[in-house]
Structure 1
């Protein structure tokens, strides 16, 4: 019996609630199996691979929006081709919930248009982000990301107060011994080679 198989994805920067909302919509649409993951669209998507592998002839892969499946038209068509070879349909809920027959010229045209929009929106978002950073830099308001090591300064000092050595502290908090030395001494130069003094 043909089955609806859902696929949900958010990037690692998006909120968990966004993934839960997609899963809820997919279940409401009748998906019996739902594969979900938080991963960048540019990274390897293990759950998408699993969903496609699980699909059988006559099944339909369902996702809420085109950009959850792919971020470029070429990436989308790679997936569509793979589904076609397995005789698996594709349904995009944002297109009204109807199954898009990717084996027809009309279906392919619809997907191409929406994939193009998704890619365009992403490129515009990135452009606005770059412009915002450039403007902030020009106004002296952009500080960039806080250095990882310095963000752990309080933790480093607390461990040092317990009598742990620099090497032990570095291993505990996941930063280099040189960074530990700079935090504890307030100096910009790295710790001398081979130094493993215990800070009180």
Structure 2
């Protein structure tokens, strides 16, 4: 089954969806299975696209007029196409620079593979940058990773540490690898317990 998506970037009526709609319907997309957005491609929130992606099932084909109607930018486009591929959802681009993408053809499947390779390359770059950032932080004496959550043992350590009036809440939070916001949820600045602290200990 074919499901269509179309988008124009202005909501003032100066751009019409008619051209895209006609092209999608000419390709066999039912008019009741076409999703639309009237928003800039740079916007993160596109309810039409979100609904479209939820409606797609394995074996379906997403049909779009041009490739630039789909992604916010190249990175977002690569991610979307890779997700479609992983879910066994086809993609067909009717015109423009991406018109060679039609996963019912051998060339289209090849292009899908290229998008998957680009997505993997992006993931490797992110992982490499993360590892490099953590190594640099460790070299400066900082620990990486997610801030620690509060538990009974950590709470008692914080209370004990704050008995020393020369130590600030910020210093204690840093030593325990948590944010001051988390610490203040359970303790007052002088180390006395707040209600959530008592609840945690009980």
TM-score by length of 2: 0.47
Larger radius of gyration: 2
